[in-house]
Structure 1
Amino acid sequence: MSQIKQSILEELKRIEREEGIRILYACESGSRAWGFPSRDSDYDVRFLYIRPVEWYLSIFDKRDVIERPISDQLDINGWDLKKALRLFRKSNPPLLEWLQSPILYVERCSAASRIRELASQMFSPRACMHHYLHMARGNYRTYLQGDTVKIKKYFYVLRPILACEWIEKHGEMPPMEFQQLADALIPEGSGLKTAVQELLARKIAGDEMKDEPKINVINEYVETQLAEYERIAKDMRTAEGEDGGMDAKLDHLFRSVVYEVWEKDEWDGYFV
């Protein structure tokens, strides 16, 4: 086991002790899971957790996230399972991405697998496309205007645009890894594919990639695709479960996980 993974697992165990929780699932998010980390990229660890039954039996609203300050390249935060299921009901893309992360740290109990089983019914192409469009527009506007640009930020625009195309073509949650999206959706032999692959190789190799002249073939592609998916997004379908028919299933999932976790005499199976 690598030293960084050991550190992450130890930190998750410490959070369990300090917060009195059980961590159900933990994975890598961000650039490492997307497949384009820089040499100095943080480890973006995201987790789902559950508290004892008594915590939920209260007349008061309570904080349903746990966040830790970034230290030693670790950025760690998590969501209570109830919060996660409420967001899942709205087809929350970050949560759906976490559940298919290629870098897994913890998976215990049945919660994550049961949520995955319902994902196709709760997936809303419209909601997810709007999420990725918002991300692409914001990053493009902030980083990629002018004659010189923050060139590594191209990935934070290209990935959500490719995610929109995947949703349009397949009607499902896009793969998390950038290379898989690029291989499937950018035509081989095109100037765009060459420019993107060269940029990706530089980033993975640790190139500093400071402000440089913009890459016209990528900018033109981005502007065309943004306009196209702005037009398409409003007509995409919503989720099958948005009519409330899934509410009883999600309630049952939550309650059964609470019992599954806190009726255990031992809590094991930590490492993956």
Structure 2
Amino acid sequence: MNELLTKLERTYGITILYASEVGSRAYGYHLPESDYDVRFIYRFPTNTYLGIESFSETISTREGQIECHGWELRKAARLGKKSNPSLVEWLKSPIVYRNSNQFKEQFISICEQSYELSILVLHYEQIMKKNIEIARKKGKAKPLIHAVRSYLAIQNITDIQTIPPIDLFDLIQAINEKGSTLVDNTIISFIQRMKNVRQCSSIEIEEVISCLGKYKLIESSKRSEKGPCQFQSFVVNQLKC
């Protein structure tokens, strides 16, 4: 993967500060034939920022089974100020391909102090409801797995009051160790079975779905008033490197 990242740097004249895997491989339920979903954050040389020419804030490319999508540093910081859910999934990924000068640790620390957790709950709730509908309509296991992961993320946020991990099994462990209620055994059994097979009956689908309505909505945010200033300082420091 490092070869591909270096190739992207040469092609676009950028420095990749951070790169990670998202999607099924990072969520912990991929198959051997699953694609790779690489996400990265990059910066241009200092002279580019001092010039008058515009530059691309996004880069997307695909090579075989590897899909790559990147955000320019300042764009990523702006999205962080808005509590963007995708950004923290990139930063929370357990599969990291590049992490320059502890970029991940610094950025996620600011996000954890600044993010509006209610925005994340709304995001995962929408994904959960959408995938429940698809699972029922098509009788497919994959959308139900997405719905379960979204449900566990909501439970993690509302019960533990923190930005959740993205791996399914890390979510379960965090809830069982730090939450006020344990994850339902029906959900655990379903996830464990889906590691080996991707088929389920309509009865099993309904059994799992019946467990996904048991969560409380978050009432308070976790935003620090220093958040916007911290994102700004972080960008300035990264551009100095």
**TM norm structure 2:** 0.87
The 2-side partners of 1:13 and 1:52 are apart by 15
Q: In the TM superposition, what is the alpha-carbon distance from 1:87 to its structure 2 partner?
A: 0.9
* Matched AA of 1:259: K
Q: In the TM superposition, what is the alpha-carbon distance from 1:239 to its structure 2 partner?
A: 1.6
Partner of 2:156: 166
RMSD, aligned CA: 2.3
Q: In the TM superposition, what is the alpha-carbon distance from 1:213 to its structure 2 partner?
A: 2.1
1:72 to 31, 43, 64: 64
Partner of 1:201: 192
Q: Secondary structure at the residue paired with 2:139?
A: strand
Q: Does 1:151 align with 2:151?
A: no
Q: In the TM superposition, what is the alpha-carbon distance from 1:150 to its structure 2 partner?
A: 0.7
The 2-side partners of 1:82 and 1:28 are apart by 21
Partner of 1:5: none
- Residues 5-32 of structure 1 show CA distances to partners (whole Å, capped at 9, x for unaligned) of xxx2111110000000000111111111
- Residues 118-153 of structure 1 show CA distances to partners (whole Å, capped at 9, x for unaligned) of 222212111111111111122122x1224x611232
Q: In the TM superposition, what is the alpha-carbon distance from 1:184 to its structure 2 partner?
A: 4.8
Contact kept, 8 Å, 2:110 with 2:227, in 1: the verdict is no
Partner of 1:50: 43
Task: Name stretches of at least 5 consecutive residues in structure 1 with no aligned partner.
Answer: 1-7, 261-272
Counterparts in 2 of 1:171 and 1:198: CA distance versus 1, 3 Å = closer
Larger Rg over CA atoms: 1
Partner of 1:123: 115
Aligned length: 236
Task: Name stretches of at least 5 consecutive residues in structure 2 with no aligned partner.
Answer: none
Q: In the TM superposition, what is the alpha-carbon distance from 1:185 to its structure 2 partner?
A: 4.1
Contact kept, 8 Å, 1:37 with 1:203, in 2: the verdict is no
**TM norm structure 1:** 0.78
The 1-side partners of 2:141 and 2:198 are apart by 10
Q: In the TM superposition, what is the alpha-carbon distance from 1:181 to its structure 2 partner?
A: 2.1
Partner of 2:12: 19
Percentage of matched positions with identical amino acids: 27
Counterparts in 2 of 1:154 and 1:170: CA distance versus 1, 3 Å = same
- Residues 143-186 of structure 1 show CA distances to partners (whole Å, capped at 9, x for unaligned) of 1224x611232110011111111111111111221112234547
Contact kept, 8 Å, 2:26 with 2:95, in 1: the verdict is yes
* Matched AA of 2:202: P
Q: Secondary structure at the residue paired with 2:32?
A: coil
